[in-house]
Amino acid sequence: MDEKRPSVVNSVSIRPKLIYGLRTDVIGNINFNLTKEVIYPVEGVLAFHDYVTNKQRFLRFPEDTTPEIIALSSHRKLLAVLELHARNGRYISIYELSTLKKRRHLELPGNHRNAQVQQMIFTNDSRAIALVTRPPNEMVFMLVLDKTSTVIEGRATLPGSHGGAECIAGNPNDCGFLAVAGDRNLLLLSKSERGFTISNNLKINYRVTSMAFLSMDLLMMGTDHDLLILVENGEQKLSQKASVAETVDLMIDQEMFDKDREAQEQRYSAIQPLVLANWRVLCMTAFARGFAYIIFNKVFVFERVSKFKFERKTVLTVPISIYAEPLYQITNLAIDHKQETVIVTCAHAQIYVGILIVPETLKTKQLKFEPLGVLIHIGDVVALSVCAWKPIVMTASRDQTIRIWNYETAKVELVRKFQVDVNIVELNSTGLMAAIGFSDQLRITQIFMDELNIVKTYNFPHCNDVRYSNLGHLMAAAYDNNIAVTSVYNLEVVIHLKGHNGTVLSVAWTRTDKYLISGGAEGAIYQWDIETGARLQEIVQKGTEYVTVCVSFNEPMTIFAGTNHGTIREFQDSTLQREITVPSRNKGAVSDLCLARSDLIMFIADHEGGLFNMQLPFLEAGGGTFTNFRFFDGPINKLRFTYEGTMLVAISKRGTVAIWTMENIEEKVAPIDQDLMKSQEVLIPRTQLSDKVEQITNLELRLKQQAEEFQYQLSQNEIFDGQQLQEVHRSYCSALEELKELNNEIVSKHTEEMNLITFQINDMKQDHRSQMDILASQYSERMLIEYQKFTNLRENMLELRESYEDKLKNSTGTLQDTIEALENDYKKQLDERKDLIRELMKEMQDKKDEFIKYCQEVEAENDRNMVATQTEYENKLTTERNETQMWRGKAGVLQKKYESQCREIDNLLEEVETLKEEHFKSQMKMQKQLRNVEDLQKDISDRDYAIGAKEKRIQELLHKNQELDKYKQVLNHKIAELKAQIEPREFQINDKRKHIIEMEHELEGLNQNNIQLELQLKEMRDKYLSNVAELRSERHRAKAARECLNAICTDIFYVAGEVSTADGLKKAVKELFHKHANDDELKRFVTLDAEVRDEFLRQRKQIETVLARYKSVAEDKSVQKKYDKLFQENVVLLEEIESLRDENKSLRSRVREDVRRSGRKSTKSSRRLESLM
pLDDT the model gives residue 250:
82
Reduced to 3 states (helix: H, G, I; strand: E, B; else coil), residue 867 is helix
Cα–Cα distance for residue pair 584/329, rounded to 1 Å: 37
Q: What are the phi and psi torsion angles at 24 (to 5°)?
A: -95, -5
CB 96 within 8 A of CB 75: no
Q: DSSP secondary-structure letter at 534?
A: -
* Residue 269: pLDDT over 80: no
∠ CA 485-489-492, nearest 5°, is: 45
Cα–Cα distance for residue pair 1023/566, rounded to 1 Å: 90
Cα–Cα distance for residue pair 1171/1165, rounded to 1 Å: 10
Reduced to 3 states (helix: H, G, I; strand: E, B; else coil), residue 399 is coil
What average pLDDT score do residues 1155-1163 get? 58
In SS3 terms, 1053-1077 reads as HHHHCCCCCHHHHHHHHHHHHHHHH
Q: Which residue has the higher pLDDT, 1153 or 817?
A: 1153
pLDDT the model gives residue 8:
41
Cα–Cα distance for residue pair 420/422, rounded to 1 Å: 7
Phi/psi zone of residue 1070: left (φ > 0), alpha (ψ -120 to 50 degrees), beta? alpha
Share of residues in the chain with pLDDT > 90 (%) = 34
Q: Over the stretch 647-662, which tens digit does the pLDDT of each residue have?
A: 999 999 999 999 999 9
pLDDT the model gives residue 933:
79
| End-to-end Cα separation, the chain, in angstroms | 75
Is the CATH code 2.40.40.20 the one for domain 381-678? Answer: no
Output Rg (C-alpha) for the chain, integer angstroms: 56
pLDDT band at 200 (very low <50, low <70, confident <90, very high): confident
Reduced to 3 states (helix: H, G, I; strand: E, B; else coil), residue 890 is helix
What average pLDDT score do residues 13-32 get? 93
Q: Over the stretch 167-198, which tens digit does the pLDDT of each residue have?
A: 999 999 888 899 999 988 899 999 887 888 88
pLDDT band at 1173 (very low <50, low <70, confident <90, very high): very low
How does strand 227-232 pair with strand 235-241?
antiparallel
What average pLDDT score do residues 312-322 get? 92
DSSP string for residues in 667-731? T-S----TTGGG----B--HHHHHHHHHHHHHHHHHHHHHHHHHHHHHHHHHHHHHHHHHHHHHH
DSSP string for residues in 201-265? EE--SSBEEEEEESSSSEEEEEETTSEEEEEETTEEEEEEETTT--EEETT--HHHHHHHHHHHH
Cα–Cα distance for residue pair 1067/1076, rounded to 1 Å: 14
* Residue 213: pLDDT over 80: yes
Q: Which regions of 156-207 does DSSP assign to beta strands (E)?
A: 165-170, 177-182, 185-191, 196-202
Q: Give whole-number Cα distances, 502 to 8, 71, 283, 1088, in Å.
A: 40, 51, 53, 101
Q: Is residue 142 exposed (0-12), middle (13-18) or buried (19+ Cβ within 10 Å)?
A: buried
Residue 102, number of CB atoms within 10 A of its CB: 13
- The sign of the torsion formed by the CA atoms of 977, 982, 987, 991 equals positive
| Paired strand residues for 223 | 208
Least Cα distance to 11 among 600, 610, 630, 643 occurs for: 600
pLDDT the model gives residue 4:
39
Q: Over the stretch 819-837, which tens digit does the pLDDT of each residue have?
A: 666 666 666 766 776 676 6
pLDDT the model gives residue 7:
38
How does strand 401-406 pair with strand 411-417?
antiparallel
| Paired strand residues for 58 | 47
Q: Over the stretch 906-934, which tens digit does the pLDDT of each residue have?
A: 777 777 777 777 777 777 777 777 777 78
What average pLDDT score do residues 1163-1169 get? 51
Q: Give whole-number Cα distances, 1130 to 37, 839, 871, 1009, 1116, in Å.
A: 71, 150, 145, 20, 22
pLDDT the model gives residue 1017:
77
Q: Which residue has the higher pLDDT, 778 or 1084?
A: 778
Alpha-carbon dihedral of residues 618, 622, 627, 631, nearest 10 degrees? Answer: 130
Q: Over the stretch 339-387, which tens digit does the pLDDT of each residue have?
A: 999 999 999 999 999 999 888 777 778 899 999 989 999 999 999 999 9
Q: Which long-range contacts (CB under 8 A, 24 or more apart) does 171-179 make?
A: 171/124, 171/213, 171/216, 172/124, 172/213, 172/215, 172/216, 172/286, 173/124, 173/215, 173/216, 174/216, 175/123, 175/124, 175/125, 175/127, 175/128, 178/130, 178/140, 178/142, 179/211, 179/213, 179/219
Cα–Cα distance for residue pair 772/766, rounded to 1 Å: 10
Mean pLDDT of the chain: 82
* Residue 597: pLDDT over 70: yes
pLDDT the model gives residue 1153:
74
What average pLDDT score do residues 214-225 get? 92
pLDDT band at 571 (very low <50, low <70, confident <90, very high): very high
Q: Over the stretch 573-593, which tens digit does the pLDDT of each residue have?
A: 888 888 898 988 877 889 999
pLDDT the model gives residue 611:
92
* Per-state percent for the chain, helix, strand, coil, to nearest 5: 45, 30, 25
pLDDT the model gives residue 1038:
76
Q: DSSP secondary-structure letter at 389?
A: S
pLDDT the model gives residue 675:
63
CB 204 within 8 A of CB 183: no
Cα–Cα distance for residue pair 396/449, rounded to 1 Å: 18
Q: Which residue has the higher pLDDT, 901 or 458?
A: 458
Q: Over the stretch 400-439, which tens digit does the pLDDT of each residue have?
A: 999 999 999 999 999 999 999 999 999 998 889 999 999 9
Share of residues in the chain with pLDDT > 70 (%) = 82
Max mean pLDDT among 313-317, 617-621, 680-684, 1081-1085 falls in 313-317
* Residue 1172: pLDDT over 60: no
Reduced to 3 states (helix: H, G, I; strand: E, B; else coil), residue 377 is coil
What average pLDDT score do residues 455-477 get? 93
Q: DSSP secondary-structure letter at 1079?
A: -
Reduced to 3 states (helix: H, G, I; strand: E, B; else coil), residue 1125 is helix
Range scoring the smallest mean pLDDT among 148-162, 376-390, 570-584, 945-959: 945-959
* Residue 6: pLDDT over 50: no
Domain spans in the chain, listed from the N-terminal domain onward: 22-107, 112-213, 242-375, 381-678
What average pLDDT score do residues 199-219 get? 90
Q: Which residue has the higher pLDDT, 936 or 1078?
A: 936
CB 465 within 8 A of CB 504: yes
pLDDT the model gives residue 1021:
77
pLDDT the model gives residue 715:
81
* Residue 1168: pLDDT over 60: no
Helix (H) or strand (E) holding 1018: helix 686-1056
Helix (H) or strand (E) holding 302: strand 298-306
CB 717 within 8 A of CB 1159: no
CB 295 within 8 A of CB 245: no
Cα–Cα distance for residue pair 727/1162, rounded to 1 Å: 7
pLDDT the model gives residue 16:
92
Q: Give whole-number Cα distances, 448 to 390, 412, 692, in Å.
A: 14, 14, 15
Q: Is residue 614 exposed (0-12), middle (13-18) or buried (19+ Cβ within 10 Å)?
A: buried
Residue 847, number of CB atoms within 10 A of its CB: 10
pLDDT the model gives residue 460:
92
* Residue 507: pLDDT over 90: yes
Q: Which residue has the higher pLDDT, 854 or 1023?
A: 1023
